[in-house]
Amino acid sequence: MSVERVSTGVGGLDDVLQGGLVAERTYMIRGSPGTGKTILGLQFLTAEPEEKTLCVNFEETTENITQNAESLGIDVSDVEFLDLSPDSDVFTETQSYDVFAPDEVESEGVTERIVEAVDKHDPDRVFVDPVTQLRHFSPDDYQFRKEVASFMSYLRERGATVLFSTQPTEEDPDDDLQFICDGTISMSHAEKGRVIEVPKFRGSDFQSGQHTVQIGEGGLTVFPILEPEQHETEFEAHSLSSGITGLDSMLHGGIERGAVTVISGSSGVGKTTTGTAFMKEAAQREERSVIYLFEEAMETFVHRCESIGIPVEEMMESGSLRVEEMEPLQVSADEFAAKVRREVEEKGAEMVMIDGLSGYRLSIRGDEEELVRELHSLCRYCKNMGVTVVLTDDVEGVTGDFEPTSARISYLADNIMFLRYLELDGQLHKAAGVLKKRASDFERGLREFRITEDGVQVGEPLTDLRGILTGTPTFDENGQ
């Protein structure tokens, strides 16, 4: 038997909760100041305009809450407020009484005000912000817990779904309140920014882990952690050409649909241009591709491509290509994964290029282990969806010891192509090679690599040179 769900009003959080909150139950939002608890509560109250709602605000005045909501584009005009903040006449320095004992307080007591508001408005949704302020009206912690539990039971009996916020401190923890609610939503600051986590959710499964939160127009947006195993589609893994004759020969036809290809090399060697060549061929097949520029400006990218005959402007105008310039420090890994999902699931993208991994690493804001975990999830998702992935990876050094990739990502790749600078007779040249290809055999020799006004050119195998991977090759004894 399915249970009735109610939306939290927060994009992405309903997905984490497998459909939203269970109706007519009580949930706690815990977190330090500035994590977004009040915003979440207001979005919850305004999620369904036809429902009656009540906000019991103990800390901020209604005026302040309304102004803050308006600044985020949240319309709270239909929300009923019971203002019990310190500036209201509910509190005086001399008053002290039990919260939920109406027979023991004066007529303007807190309990009576709350009961009157609930009886008058008969709300479907209630938000209490923060409930921990009620400790000041209770003689001890036991009485506080008892009274809060009674309050929540009263609201549930009236058919309301309830959110209440807490601000736990060392002096006033909220562990005792977690036992009287049906679920806990924890909000905090982490290395990757604001995050939200669900430690407890009775009566339903939920997605565990720390999910990224952004605050902007409309309030909070939650970007759930990407779980690749939840996404899959059937597809045919046929070969995809680069449109570059020599490169396709090295790859024995091209790369396979749904494969992950890493193109590595030093800065400026031609990685982005080579990856974009696959997008050009995809456009000719009337397939959609998307490129995320983490290290290059859009204007520069477009100019370079157009100057060598890759018509990216025409591709973008036709809708076969989307190019998005990314600011690494302003987008988290979860948010980026959500962008990719929208392109794949809503707009039908069949090829994705991340250019380049150094910028993507900044979005992770973690160590190499975190980079590998996040990249693994994203690539696994794309593979499950039949999406071809191209990753460009900068390696240090122009010449010298060969380094296939900059991080421990080789195992993620189905194909590894590398571009290499060479010093020969006092001049810089370039070479291309294939280090790995899971789906088929490949050419193990190296070829000369050039970018001209006519595009990318991959020449004949460099059979007369030895020590190419050192960057300073020499002719073999049979060479000239």
pLDDT digits (tens, 9 = 90+) for 251-280: 999 999 999 999 999 888 999 999 999 999
pLDDT exceeds cutoff 70 at 182: yes
Q: Name the nearest CA neighbour of 261 among 279, 287, 245, 246.
A: 279
Residues 210 and 251 in one domain: no
- Residue 338: give its domain's CATH number: 3.40.50.300
What's the domain count of the chain?
Answer: 2
- More reliable by pLDDT, 475 or 458: 458
Residues 175 and 243 in one domain: no
CA atoms within 13 A on the CB side of 184: 18
Residues 157 and 23 in one domain: yes
Residues 377 and 235 in one domain: yes
Residues 239 and 385 in one domain: yes
pLDDT tens per residue, range 409-457: 788 899 999 998 887 777 788 989 999 999 999 998 889 999 999 899 9
Residues 256 and 335 in one domain: yes
Q: Which of 17-21, 136-140, 189-193, 384-388 has the lowest mean pLDDT?
A: 136-140
At 208, the pLDDT band (50, 70, 90 cuts) reads very high
Helix, strand, or coil here: 191? coil
Q: Is residue 415 part of a domain?
A: yes
- Cβ neighbours of 316 (radius 10 Å): 15
At 147, the pLDDT band (50, 70, 90 cuts) reads confident
Rounded percentage of the chain residues whose pLDDT exceeds 70: 88
Q: Is residue 343 part of a domain?
A: yes
Helix, strand, or coil here: 122? coil
User: What's the confidence (pLDDT) of residue 102?
Assistant: 41
Contact (CB, 8 A) for 166 and 30: yes
User: What's the confidence (pLDDT) of residue 275?
Assistant: 97
Range of the domain at 328: 230-475
pLDDT tens per residue, range 66-114: 999 999 999 999 999 999 887 544 444 444 434 444 444 433 467 778 8
User: What's the confidence (pLDDT) of residue 90?
Assistant: 43
Q: Is residue 402 part of a domain?
A: yes
d(CA 373, CA 438): 21
Residues 31 and 174 in one domain: yes
Contact (CB, 8 A) for 165 and 37: yes
Location of structure tokens 């430690």:
199
User: What's the confidence (pLDDT) of residue 471?
Assistant: 54
Q: CA triplet 266, 271, 277: central angle to 5 degrees?
A: 170
User: What's the confidence (pLDDT) of residue 219?
Assistant: 96
- More reliable by pLDDT, 267 or 37: 37
Residues 193 and 297 in one domain: no
Enumerate helices (H) and strands (E) in the chain, giving the number of each.
13, 24
Contact (CB, 8 A) for 274 and 450: no
Residues 152 and 278 in one domain: no
DSSP alpha helix (H) spans, 78-179: 110-121, 141-157, 175-178
Q: Which of 15-19, 101-105, 123-127, 401-405 has the lowest mean pLDDT?
A: 101-105
Residues 259 and 211 in one domain: no
Residues 306 and 448 in one domain: yes
DSSP secondary structure code for residue 351 in this structure: E
User: What's the confidence (pLDDT) of residue 103?
Assistant: 40
DSSP secondary structure code for residue 341 in this structure: H
Enter the tokens of residue 113.
Answer: 């005000």
Last residue of a domain, one of 166, 193, 223: 223
Q: Which of 9-18, 56-65, 357-366 has the lowest mean pLDDT?
A: 357-366
Q: Is residue 480 part of a domain?
A: no
Last residue of a domain, one of 205, 223, 241: 223
Rounded percentage of the chain residues whose pLDDT exceeds 90: 61
User: What's the confidence (pLDDT) of residue 359?
Assistant: 86
Residues 253 and 207 in one domain: no
Enter the tokens of residue 341.
Answer: 């999902």
